[in-house]
A and B are shown apart, each in its own frame.
Chain A
Amino acid sequence: MSESSARAGFGTWILLLGAVIGLAEAVFDYFWTGNGIHGTAGVLLVIVTMALMTLAAAALAIWPAMPRWLRGILLFLILLDIVGTGFASYMLETWWLVGAVALALVGWFIHLAVDPAPRRIPAHV
């Protein structure tokens, strides 16, 4: 028997920060009438994708020792989310949102390159 145990790395927190900022920005853009895109389906789509990114990043942060395969899938989906949302933000000409997504991407890379890999340790030592 063994149990998973680890701490979320720096990259995970950067990723989560980017996602949260992006979500907040997207919600703001949806309701603020002076931006040329408020109330549009495009911003609504970005709210959804940023919310999913936030949930996924939070899962990485809260459950750092999740199974390797699940982490791999999650990281792949987050990357797709980042790329898609980044493109959508660019098309919406919302530069703060592009910045937030870029921050999330930096976090993603740091997580992949620097953060400690989850390890399995004996349950009873």
Chain B
Amino acid sequence: MTSIHTVASLAAFAGALFIGNGALAQNATTAPSNAPSVTPAKQPSNPTAAAAQKPAPQPPSQTPVVGATHYSGWYTFNGDLMDQKYSKADQITPQNVGKLTRAWEVHTGDMSDGSGGKPKSDWSATPLFVNNTVYVATPFYRIFAIDPGTGRVKWTFNTHAVLKAETQPDLKTRGVAYWQAAKPQAGKPCQKIVYIGTMGAKLYAVDADSGKACQGFGKNGVLDINQWNTTNAKWPLSILQPPTVYKDSLFIGWAGKDWADSEAPPGRVFAVNAQTGKLKWSFDALPKQQQKMTGTSNVWASMSVDPKSGILYLPISSPSPNFWGGNRKEKLPLATSVTALDADTGKVLWSRQIVHHDIWDYDTNAAPTLVDIHKDGKTIPALVQTSKMGFIFVLNRMTGEPIYPITETKVPQSHAKGEKSAPTQPYVKTPEPTVPDRFPGISTLADWASTGECSDTFKKLRYDGRYTPPSVKGSLVYPSTAGGIEWGGGAVDPTTGTYVVNSSAVAQIYRLIPRKEYEQETKGMKDPSSHGYYAQEGSPYGFYLHNFVNKWGMPCWKPPYGTISAYDLDTGKLKWRKPFGEVQKWGFYMPKSWGSVTIGGPLITKSGLIFIGGSMDARVRAIDLKSGKVLWRSLVMAPSVANPATYMYKGRQYVVFVVGGNAILKPQVGDEIVAYALPKGSQ
């Protein structure tokens, strides 16, 4: 058996193992102890059917706009509210991108390699550019406000959060959120606010100009989200993903502890007032009657908003436990779905489940991208939802109906005790999935290097294609919880309908272990999860997860392990697909044709460039949007596993990468924020 340590070190090759554990994990929330001021959304028994019955969703209520709806700059985790990750900046072009140089860099000092009593750091924070400032959260839960032209630190804010792995195994953050009043009043504090969450479920509001706490928010500038953690409250509701900001509301999802419990905090999203932190409404993804016996189906990833219609889109994760569903045989239609809510009321407008009865931890893990596409002579308000399975769901964002067909396809059935797996799952053929339908076969090199270990192991596993369920003998799952497409999601050029997304292709072995055997196998282990064992307490099975690698840590399946693809959304056709990044092991770079497992998404500029970090080889790259050719790359301190940002400031275009690493890829960590620009005078 391959230990988690082997896998982790092997991360070099496939990264995998812990992908599900770290950023991908699911999480949970609780029913608020105080009744929400607005009635929780009603659960349709069949959301898709519900959507079909009323093709025109109820228009969101019209409430006065207190805060601005959107701002100029790169002002959200995904650049803007619609998650397009698109910039109109065109100073840096395919012709001159080769001249890019470092304009400035900042080292925050906030990194940990796991020594010294602190967990490892894992830095996935998108830098925001708004209010003529670059704002970045660190994995030690500090905010840096930085001059966008020089890199001078204007101020820092320290939450003094406890630096312990209370839920996730690493210290992590995906950044800050920003709100400002529609008409900021000069001299009055907290007309512009930056928010940072902590693993301990605290949300801090900080004046964007001074860096001082906004006393009117929550209690002395801190909102304790854990006050609403009242069902199966086994761990705090970690606020690692920054809230989504729209009008005067913050929409807050949360992260939790992975794969530990059958009964966990049930998924809940909170809408609070941006200035006071007062709860406006909350939304439950699980029906009330099932909340106690299962849990999660939370929203741990980013969300998107259509400012025109006032619809909030949620990527909802899988219920607990993740790899056995005997405790949740009832229909949970909002679990592992993309769901549209009225942003003002929290009411469900439509929902589409992308995995039925999820027993693979296929969380919907990225905000859907909202874009209008042109098809059959019509302009259609569309939504692009990526997935860990590599399927790309293109839906009408007003109704949830598919623009390209989704087919219910028969899938292999589980034989686990007490389990009743879904007979069919939604399949998408257009756009072409980022991961092939079938396992690509055993790598000859890895098999040869291990004297047949890979093929011998493969013969012993259950593999019946996509959606092979977890089993006691061990199942090969491809793509696995490691993806497929991760939380970075994709980017779109709305002027051409070109959609770009990076994807991994990771094979993992899922093994259910009957409870008694699990206790024996993990006996004496101080931390079973560090060896790949997860209790799934309350279910008849513990769980063992590891990458399908040989004794040397080489992936047993054929490459590529990571790709980047461009699609024409108007036709659904694949324009190009390339292996992306390089795998690195012991310092050696593997062939480029292998690609790299990636974490973190791309951005697109009007000039026809894609900027992206994400790869294991600690490079950031610029890619030609038309051809997929890498035009520029630069070595940084560690893998840049955050979505990048770009902006114009005083006539110069900057591209900013946060460089912090992620143990999923390799042990290398960093504390670098680096901005690239063309040399002065050459713009």
Q: Which residues of A contact B (CB under 8 A)?
A: 34-37, 40-43, 45, 88, 91-93
| A93/B589 contact (C-beta < 8 A), A36-B618, A36-B635 known | yes
* Nearest 6 pairs of A and B residues by beta carbon: A40-B587, A42-B587, A91-B588, A37-B587, A41-B586, A42-B586
| B248, CB-defined interface residue at 8 Å | no
Q: Which residues of B contact A (CB under 8 A)?
A: 584, 586-590, 617-619, 635
* Separation of A43 and B584 alpha carbons in the complex (Å): 13
Residues of chain A within 8 A of B588, CB atoms compared: 42, 88, 91-92
Assess the A36–B586 pair: CB atoms within 8 A: no
Distance to closest chain B CB from A42 (angstroms): 3
* Separation of A41 and B589 alpha carbons in the complex (Å): 13
Assess the A35–B635 pair: CB atoms within 8 A: yes
Assess the B589–A34 pair: CB atoms within 8 A: no
Residue of B nearest to A93 (CB): B589
Assess the B635–A91 pair: CB atoms within 8 A: no
9 contacts between A and B (CB under 8 A): A35-B635, A36-B584, A36-B617, A36-B619, A37-B587, A41-B587, A42-B586, A42-B588, A91-B589
Residues of chain A within 8 A of B635, CB atoms compared: 34-36
Interface of A is mostly: helix
Residues of chain A within 8 A of B586, CB atoms compared: 40-42, 45
Residue of B nearest to A94 (CB): B587
* Separation of A41 and B585 alpha carbons in the complex (Å): 9
Residue of A nearest to B617 (CB): A36
Residues of chain A within 8 A of B619, CB atoms compared: 36
Interface centre among A34, A36, A41, A92 (most CB of B within 10 A): A36
Distance to closest chain B CB from A120 (angstroms): 45
* Separation of A37 and B582 alpha carbons in the complex (Å): 13
Distance to closest chain B CB from A119 (angstroms): 44
9 extra interface residue pairs, beta carbon distance < 8 Å, beyond A36-B617, A37-B587: A36-B584, A36-B618, A40-B587, A41-B586, A41-B587, A42-B587, A42-B588, A43-B587, A92-B588
Residues of chain A within 8 A of B617, CB atoms compared: 36
Distance to closest chain B CB from A29 (angstroms): 9
Residue of A nearest to B588 (CB): A91
Residues of chain B within 8 A of A37, CB atoms compared: 587
Residues of chain B within 8 A of A92, CB atoms compared: 587-589
Distance to closest chain B CB from A98 (angstroms): 13
* Separation of A37 and B619 alpha carbons in the complex (Å): 12
Residues of chain B within 8 A of A91, CB atoms compared: 588-590
Interface centre among B587, B588, B589, B590 (most CB of A within 10 A): B587
* Separation of A91 and B584 alpha carbons in the complex (Å): 9
Distance to closest chain B CB from A99 (angstroms): 17
Residues of chain A within 8 A of B589, CB atoms compared: 91-93
Residue of A nearest to B619 (CB): A36
Residues of chain B within 8 A of A42, CB atoms compared: 586-588
Residue of B nearest to A42 (CB): B587
Residue of B nearest to A35 (CB): B635
Residues of chain A within 8 A of B587, CB atoms compared: 37, 40-43, 92
* Separation of A91 and B619 alpha carbons in the complex (Å): 16
* Separation of A37 and B635 alpha carbons in the complex (Å): 11
* Separation of A35 and B634 alpha carbons in the complex (Å): 10
Distance to closest chain A CB from B596 (angstroms): 13
* Separation of A77 and B590 alpha carbons in the complex (Å): 26
